A and B are shown apart, each in its own frame.
Chain A
Amino acid sequence: MIKSMIKSKLFWPIVVLVLILLFNLFFDRGFFSIEVRGGHLVGSLIDILNRGAPLMLISIGMTLVIATKGIDLGVGSVIAMSGAIGAMSVAGAADDSILPLFTAIGLSVGICVLAGAWNGLLVSRVGVQPIVATLILMVAGRGIAQLITGGQITTVYYEPYSYIGGGYLFLLPFSIFIVAAVFAIAMFLTRKTAIGLFIESVGSNPDASRLSGINSKNIILMVYIFSGFCAAIGGLILSSNVASADGNNAGLWYELDAILAVVIGGTSLMGGRFFLMGTLVGALIIQSLTTTIYSVGVPTEYNLVVKAIVVLIVCLLQSPEFRKRLTGAFGSKKGVKSTKDKGVTLS
């Protein structure tokens, strides 16, 4: 029972997540406390979920892309685009009508899905390497976002827009429900239908899958579109949370955080396998690490170094090779003996 738990891809990420959260308890007794204030739940754990929502969404999209042996570097820029489009289209709208909100969501999601389709077409139809194909959008998307906002930080005064990233439903931040919904859809499609299997087979061998009757090209196209969709919603959450659009900084380096979350979650960059649940845990690790650094009070200059060290530890723990060496070093005599014995009997 315990052995199978340790072998599970989810085990080590969850251990690290729990350790990070427990670590906070040393510095702040009230870290796990959650109370009702101003009509909604308030607490560090809620914050982590709320702040981590965009990253979780984007990582879900990224997981599927990586499962097809691809990579989507364009998500950060798509976030900026989506936020810019959303904020600009509701700028100056009257508070009493919620129609502009839906126009904004429709426009952002629509255009970002197109951006995802552009990536997908470049990769699947033209045959450009994913890293290069999506690099194009990474550069161009931010430019487009800056064009839309005119290089300025645009503030939105339209109240309903703030609901996406700053509103509350049943005491909880609304963004958590968005993540839950998208995650449920992704889980359902990949685990209850054949799509998940198709994605994995395309990831491990596109040619073989094509020959066995899977339309590899459309599968690849689809995952990039889905990634664009996730980034669009993530962008709306980020921009609506601060009620402004910032073409320069919104979503900056999110693509890298998302890739990291996917890798921490146990999905290999070589494609062929993916763990959506692991990705969620990975994204939560990154976010709780950030929150921890802020609340513990690590000096600003050391933030990134601390982050890097924790990430390194998680990645090492994820590697079976490293774990084997580690256990080998600790219980060296026993380990060596048993392998020797085996060697003898085998020969």
Chain B
Amino acid sequence: MKKLFSSKLLMLMMLALLLVVAACGSDEAEEAGGTESDSTETEDTTETEDTSAETEGDTEEASSEKLVIGFSQVGAESEWRTANTESMKAAITDAGHELKFSDAQQKQENQIKAIRSFIAQKVDAIVFSPVVETGFETVLQEAKDADIPVFLADRSVDIEDDSLWVTFLGSDFVEEGRKAGNWLVDELGDEDEVNIVELQGTVGSAPAIDRKEGFEEIIGDHSNFEITQSQSGDFTRAKGKEVMEAFLKSDGDNIDVLYAHNDDMAIGAIQAIEEYGLKPAEDITIIGVDAVKGAFEAMAAGKMNVTIECNPLFGPQMVDLIEAYKAGEEIPKRVAVEESMYTMDQAEELLPTRQY
């Protein structure tokens, strides 16, 4: 036994393992290298930048025809994001355009690299969902110099010079909060006293801040509504459940409404409510945001009342915007994604059609 574990052999084994791991890694590196070599190939053509005005004219004429669109996505951190990527990819190719896709894997440097390579490849439009809000000035300036319009998807950037991008198409989180508030007022507006508990998203994140703000804006006008407790559930099921448990224990019988900043926390909270011995959706009205598949399942089972849509499927809308811009139309700086709201009654019917 001791000989089996002799240190030399062990070192060898570990080295071999490391090599295997390294080999797996190098595959990826090659892929990445692939795109990079792509960009270097096209770099030669960038030297003829002077003629860019000419080509620009060409593309404008052929605006309704085939465009080359570069799309730099944040990553694949959630089902929502994956649905968003799929929608964008499908919309671009279905409209007959050519797609160049790059996944930034949550890293800004990858995204900047991708945008640079799009510029070098002389795409007709760049769509990107910035990983972070700041630090994109230089690369966007480069895009502007190359006369490539940039469209922001889902997330915005914090840059003073707004001529650097054409428009920002994304969900209006404040509006989502307002919708939740309005639905609640319509539903329970006649009651004397409505106690609301709120599960916030990750502290400091834009959706958490805005969804809270929009909701409070509506609720604030109605004195019979009161938010009694509000805590962060970090957008996760586990935290949502844990926080809801604590809410229930401290004031369980007086809670009338739960407003969760996303559906995952609402789903966790539903479990907590059931374990506490109350009936979700009956004893406590439950409002979620996002409209993910899990929420539809919960609503179909009669455990959740309503979910406000935060629609990732805005690919077609984005393609329309790009085409409109290429056709010379004026486009507002901020376009909200078309979103609706789904209640319990619609859930069963819609469940099979949900893509994410």
Contacts and interface: CB of A to CB of B under 8 A. Distances in A.
Interface of A: 27-28, 30-31, 37-38, 40, 42-44, 47, 51, 121-122, 125-126, 151-153, 155, 166, 238, 241-244, 246, 248-250, 290-291, 293-297, 300-301, 303
Given A246-B236, A303-B232, A153 B264 contact: yes
A249 B77 contact: no
Contacts of B275: 38, 40, 42, 166
Given A38-B275, A242-B237, 17 more contacts: A31-B250, A37-B276, A38-B276, A40-B275, A44-B246, A47-B249, A125-B10, A126-B14, A152-B78, A241-B241, A242-B238, A243-B271, A294-B246, A295-B247, A297-B229, A300-B230, A301-B203
Contacts of A303: 203, 231-232
Interface in B201-235: 203, 229-232, 234
A294 B246 CA distance: 6
21 contacts: A28-B250, A37-B276, A37-B277, A38-B277, A40-B275, A42-B249, A42-B275, A51-B245, A125-B7, A152-B82, A238-B238, A241-B238, A244-B237, A246-B236, A248-B77, A249-B238, A290-B242, A291-B246, A295-B247, A300-B232, A303-B203
A229 B231 CA distance: 33
Contacts of B230: 297, 300
A51 B242 contact: yes
Contacts of A126: 7, 10-11, 14
Interface in B1-57: 5, 7, 10-11, 14
A295 B10 contact: no
Interface in B278-311: 294
Interface residues of B, number: 37
B79 A152 contact: yes
B243 A294 contact: yes
A76 B251 CA distance: 32
Contacts of A301: 203
A-B pairs, 8 with minimum CB distance: A294-B246, A37-B277, A295-B250, A38-B277, A242-B237, A300-B232, A295-B246, A44-B249
Contacts of A44: 246, 249-250
Given A37-B276, A38-B277, A155-B294, A246 B246 contact: no
Contact of A300 (B203, B237, B276): B203
A82 to B, nearest CB: 14
A151 B77 contact: yes
Interface in B72-125: 76-79, 82
B170 interface: no
A27 B76 contact: no
A297 B249 CA distance: 12
Nearest to A291: B246
Contact of B236 (A28, A249, A290, A294): A249
B177 interface: no
Nearest to A248: B77
B171 interface: no
A250 B242 CA distance: 13
A47 B237 CA distance: 16
